[in-house]
Amino acid sequence: MSRIALKLPGKVALITGAASGIDKAAAIKFIENGAKVLLADVQDHLGKSIANDLGPNATYIHCNVTNEQEISSAVDHAVAQYGRLDVMYNNAGIVGTLAPTILDLELQGFDRTMEVNVRSMVAGIKHASRVMIPCQAGSIICTASTTAILGGMANHDYAVSKAAVIGLVKSTAAELNQHGIRVNCISPHALPTQLAVNFFKKYLGIDDEKMIAEMTHNMWEFKGARCEAADVAEAAVFLASDDAKYISGHNLVVDAGFTCFKRLNITP
Ligand SMILES: NC(=O)c1ccc[n+]([C@@H]2O[C@H](COP(=O)([O-])OP(=O)(O)OC[C@H]3O[C@@H](n4cnc5c(N)ncnc54)[C@H](O)[C@@H]3O)[C@@H](O)[C@H]2O)c1
């Protein structure tokens, strides 16, 4: 009988934002692939219950990513519990102000979005590097978005924060490659997690979550497939694994080509 090879055997991963959505899916896939995972979030009840369901290779820790000390402690906790940190997945994020125009954008809200979506990832990379550099190995993954690639798909603060993540990844990859540490990001297209549902609820004034989920899925058609959290999680498993040992500074876009092309509307 053939057995499917584990892609992350024995690897230790810290995943932020793991109580919900994409990172919850990633925690599940990482464990299925043989990793030990420290799930970090601010939704403690949910996070603990997910870690519990995932079994002995999952642990939950409270970590507000806007607090550098809490990120530092989460990294230290991973090392204390499992002996090292192989993968840091900076995923926690918020949708931001939802200001519909630049004139509506309150700069305090802009700062808050940058704090949660960008500053947190700077701290995540900093503290993961602190423990990875002595090992001269590691994989750091950050979550960006297709809204960073094409304008007009989200409120400015959110889109700008995600564009900054791509810049951060390239800048830090350039330094950390000298230590055998890879830094990459993943840019998912829209998928109906709590974050996206909240976005459309507020943006369009619609309350029906089922309708919003359907609408989100239909924003881009790819024959036979829809963008699911598990697709993004698979991309993360790849970047975390040794299969990606020569990939760094990359933005892996999970959008079935949405940001790659425009079709010419030619009819005979
Ligand atoms: N869903 C989409 O359409 C989509 C598309 C592209 C990128 N993204 C990005 O994916 C990432 C995950 O979002 P999601 O869609 O899974 O949404 P989600 O709301 O399901 O998950 C986000 C998680 O981040 C946590 N979080 C928020 N603020 C935090 C903080 N200060 N400290 C710790 N944890 C915090 C939340 O509690 C939640 O569990 C985000 O960075 C988001 O910007 C989402």
| Ligand 1 pocket mutation pick from 71, 149, 193, 254 by most atoms within 8 angstroms of CB | 193
With a cut of 50, say whether residue 1 has pLDDT above it: no
- CATH of segment(s) 12-189+227-254: 3.40.50.720
Q: Which amino acid is at 232?
A: V
Active site residues: 158
Distance 263 CA to ligand 1 centre (A): 31
148-158 pLDDT, tens per residue? 999 999 999 99
Ligand 1 neighbours, Cβ below 6 Å, are 16-17, 19-23, 41-43, 63-66, 91-94, 116, 143, 145, 188, 190-191, 193-196
Q: How far is CA 137 from the centre of its chain?
A: 20
Closest ligand 1 atom, residue 43 Cα: 37
Side by side, which strands form the sheet with 87-90? 58-62, 36-41, 12-16, 87-90, 138-143, 181-188, 251-254
CB 183, CB 240: distance < 8 Å: no
The Cα 156–Cα 151 span in angstroms is: 9
The Cα 160–Cα 235 span in angstroms is: 23
With a cut of 90, say whether residue 206 has pLDDT above it: no
pLDDT over 70, % of the chain = 99
Q: Whose CA is nearest to atom 4 of ligand 1?
A: 190
- Mean pLDDT over the full length of the chain: 95
77-115 pLDDT, tens per residue? 999 999 999 999 999 999 999 999 999 999 999 999 999
pTM (2 decimals)? 0.96
Q: Which amino acid is at 107?
A: L
With a cut of 90, say whether residue 200 has pLDDT above it: no
The pLDDT-based confidence of 262 (bands split at 50, 70, 90) is: confident
Distance 190 CA to ligand 1 centre (A): 12
218-244 pLDDT, tens per residue? 877 788 888 999 999 999 999 999 999
Look at residues 17, 162, 39 and name the one whose alpha carbon lies nearest to residue 90: 17
The Cα 40–Cα 28 span in angstroms is: 14
122-140 pLDDT, tens per residue? 999 999 999 999 999 999 9
The Cα 241–Cα 91 span in angstroms is: 17
